[in-house]
Structure 1
Amino acid sequence: MKRAFAGGGDVRTARQRGSKSISYSDIQQRVGLGQSTTSQYLAMLRQAGLVVATRRGKWTYYRRDEANIARLLETLRDVF
């Protein structure tokens, strides 16, 4: 989970777009990272349950997983 937040760029991009889906290429352009680095960060965010990937033809779109993010925030409030 910690590594998923370390990059920050992907989370910022998702937050800017709200709960709408955003394409992989849009994310890569916005965060200004290389293809490999962007893919690694998105994989970490998916594994942490913070984003959901959806394939549409050749394209992959990402959106926040609102339910998991809400649970994470609730847990953090309880802990701190």
Structure 2
Amino acid sequence: MEIYTPTNLRKNLFDLLNRVADKDEKMEVTLKQPTGPNKGVVLISKERYAQLEELDFLQRTGTLDVVMNRMENEKPDDFDEANAY
């Protein structure tokens, strides 16, 4: 992941945003603090953000655990393609 300062981000903002959106690149922007560790933000594509939101929802509601458990314990006759739709 590339790391930018706000100044460097501003210089190339349009190109960097296109790289994030089109190529799914991730970028960190550091925000210097007078004391303590640097804070920052991470730029991710809208598509990746939606994926993370969905994963968070599935995890919070327990759905992800149920699906993973079913996948780990599936048997050959658990799924019948004729009745899938």
What TM-score, normalized to structure 2? 0.27
Q: Which has the higher contact order (CA 8 A, sep 6+)?
A: 1
- Structure with the larger helix share: 1
What TM-score, normalized to structure 1? 0.28
